[in-house]
Amino acid sequence: MSMTSEFAPGSNVLLLFKCELQEERNKLARAIGATHNEIRTLADSGPGDLADECSGSSSKETVFASHSRNRTQLREVELALKRLAAGDFGICTACGGDIGLKRLQALPWASTCIECQEQSEQGRVQ
């Protein structure tokens, strides 16, 4: 599939999405680096008393969850940048239809239209 007229190659809209995705990629890379350092610090900290261990365990879980979320989103952002470069940005990877400008403004890394996303989420819930 090729881009729709809404996202003509070289358009200012594409440039804006590209810049936004690159900024998001940089922000996520910094956040991943920071959580990686936190994980290293937590791993290097010696054993403490029971209260310290419980608090540390909760902190570790929070840091690991944040690290995982950021890595997942970074992959989504990088895939969106690849779709942009390939000329497939704004095209739903599930149905081939338009994702829609409003959805992309909210989630520039979205790979599916709202209808396909809802169907996917309903399939996971059932």
* pLDDT above 90: residue 23: yes
Instruction: Please tell me whether the overall predicted TM-score, pTM, comes out greater than 0.75 for this model.
Output: yes
Give residue 87's Cα distance to chain centre: 20
Mean pLDDT of the residues in the chain: 84
* pLDDT above 90: residue 48: no
Distance CA(11)–CA(9), nearest Å, equals 5
Q: To the nearest whole percent, how much of the chain has pLDDT over 90?
A: 60
* pLDDT above 60: residue 50: no
Residues 71-97 have pLDDT tens digits of 999 999 999 999 999 999 999 999 999
pLDDT given at position 18? 95
Domains of the chain: 6-125 (1.20.120.910)
Distance CA(31)–CA(9), nearest Å, equals 32
Distance CA(37)–CA(46), nearest Å, equals 16
